[in-house]
Amino acid sequence: MLEIKLKEEYDEWLRKISREVRISPEELAYMSIEKFIKEYRTRKAVKAYVEGEISLGKAAEVAGMPKRKFMAMIEDFGIPLNLDARVFIKSFNFLSELRGYRVYKDTGVI
Could you read off the pLDDT of 73-99 as tens digits, one per residue? 998 888 887 765 555 566 556 656 666
Q: What are the boundaries of each domain within the chain?
A: 8-79, 82-110
Point out the least confidently predicted range of 26-30, 38-42, 79-83, 106-110: 106-110
Q: Which residues contact 67 (CB under 8 A, 6 or more apart)?
A: 56, 57, 60
Q: Where are the alpha helices (DSSP H) in the chain?
A: 8-21, 25-50, 56-63, 67-76, 85-99
pLDDT of residue 77: 83
Residue 2 has pLDDT above 90, yes or no: no
pLDDT of residue 83: 60
Express as a percent the part of the chain with pLDDT over 90. Answer: 55
The number of beta carbons lying within 10 Å of the beta carbon of residue 4 is 7
Q: Which of 83, 84, 88, 80 is nearest to 104 (CA)?
A: 88
Q: Which amino acid is located at 20 in the chain?
A: E
